[in-house]
Amino acid sequence: MRYPPLKTLTAIFLIALLAACSPANKALKHSKSLAKSGLTYEATLAALDAVEAKPNYKKAMVQVKTLGTKEIQNQMREFNELRTAGETVGALDAYVRAWDIEQRAANLGVLLTGTSAHASDFANLRIGYIQELDGKGQAALQSEDFTAAERIYVRALNYDPENESLRASWVTAVGEPAYREAQSLMTESKYRTAYIVLEDLERLTETTYKDARDIQSKAVKKGSVTIGVRDVLAPTRQELDVARGLRSDLISNLIGTQDPFIAWIDWNEKNRYEATEQPDYLLELEMTNWREMPGVRTSYERKGYRRVAIVTKDPDTGAKATTYDYQKVIYHDIDFKYLVHGALRMALVEPTTKEVLVSREVEDIVERTIATAQYSGDATNIYPGHWTNRSEDKPSDVVNHSGKAVLTSRFRTSNNPRIIYQMQEQIRNSLVKKASITMFEAMHSSTFLP
């Protein structure tokens, strides 16, 4: 009987281990543990998390179906008991929990039922409570207690998420403080911050509050600046060749950020002398370092003898005799590495005063093996020796230097100089990426364009 090789068994074990550690399996295992403890509601939510992490996960879907059906029945039973006892809030919360499980399961392809039979009772029960919450919310809005109003309307929308009147009041509770803050920031000339406040508000409410768009347009008009990207200073010809492509990619990345407050300009020598206006700021670039050099040569020595068969023929009798010559040799396994190091300095300068507003430097380094040489002969022909100096020859040693060609043929070598070009491109792309991220963070700091 043939057994699978060790590598195959190891690969199967690793695949099984990774599958067991996946988020879906962890959530399913957690769900089963909660179910054993009697926490059906939490177990159902964990099973839903497992299906969301891995869609169409059959085991988790069965868990959702089993636990979800049981939990919806429990929540509906609790809903009826609390409604009969006059506990309006508790009853509404029980129904919402069941409805949430039902909707999440439906979105994942698992059909659960049980809430529709009690939908009319839920609708009748929530009317009075929502009216009460709405009254409290309107009172909070009139007294400009927007935090309390937001909290009240969030709770009301939890019971009636499609009520447009409640949603409009919630938008007012959330939007009015942000709107007033943006107006105050505009008077303080903090145009970008005002723009971001209104942008976050629109993202949260999914609607435009009052004339927020007009305020944003005014902020961009008053606070926008132009930044000219200068040519890269490079001391050597090699650095200049690298810098040309680097600069164009950097400009493309900066323009791609689509910052409404910054207009990036290619401020090379040609555009500089043809322009009638100067940018508000200048971005100066300098290749402070571009170094290519051989790295570490790692050498592994194998000292010993190599046996060589020598066939001699007697000139008188013609008989052949075989003798063995033991050559003292040192075998090397060599890895030859190459190193590329690049550094780029960026400085944002005010052109009239020459004041440096922002100064950053990014760098990266990579080292890879470009050539190798290793012994590929038969290991049985190597006899261990005991020398302290590799050039030492004892009187009893017989060294046959004529076998050098045979020794060379036993080495397997590889040389791939194209790796150097790949390393150069890797460093250049890394500098572009790091410089783009660094400048994006610097441009969005509170010290620049508030």
Q: What pLDDT, on the 0 to 100 scale, is given for residue 330? A: 64
pLDDT of residue 177: 94
pLDDT digits (tens, 9 = 90+) for 265-278: 888 888 888 888 88
- Residue 368: per-residue pLDDT: 86
Same domain, 272 and 414: yes
> pLDDT at position 410, please?
52
Q: What pLDDT, on the 0 to 100 scale, is given for residue 405?
A: 40
pLDDT for position 236? 74
Residue 409 burial (CB count, 10 A): 10
User: What is the structure's pLDDT at 332?
Assistant: 61
Among 188, 206, 223, the domain-final residue is 223
Could you give the CA distance from residue 271 to residue 292 in angstroms, rounded to a whole number? 33
CATH number of the domain to which 275 belongs: 3.30.160
Closest CA to 201 of 214, 182, 223: 182
**CA 365, CA 431: separation in Å to the nearest integer?**
10
The torsion of the CA quartet 46, 47, 51, 52, rounded to 10 degrees, works out to -20
User: In terms of domains, do 416 and 271 share one?
Assistant: yes
Q: Which residues of the chain have pLDDT under 70?
A: 1-21, 295-306, 328-334, 373-413
Question: Same structural domain for residues 237 and 341?
Answer: yes
* CA gap 96, 70 in Å, rounded: 16
Give CA–CA dist 406/402, Å, rounded.
9
Look up the domain containing 362 and give its range.
Answer: 229-443
- Both 194 and 300 in one domain: the answer is no
Q: Are residues 259 and 369 in the same domain?
A: yes
Cα angle for residues 194, 282, 365 (degrees, 5° grid):
100
Rounded to the nearest angstrom, the gap between the alpha carbon of residue 123 and the centroid of all alpha carbons in its chain is: 46
Q: What residue spans of 257-316 are helical by DSSP H?
A: 269-274
Judged on CB neighbours under 10 Å (0-12, 13-18, 19+), 84 is exposed
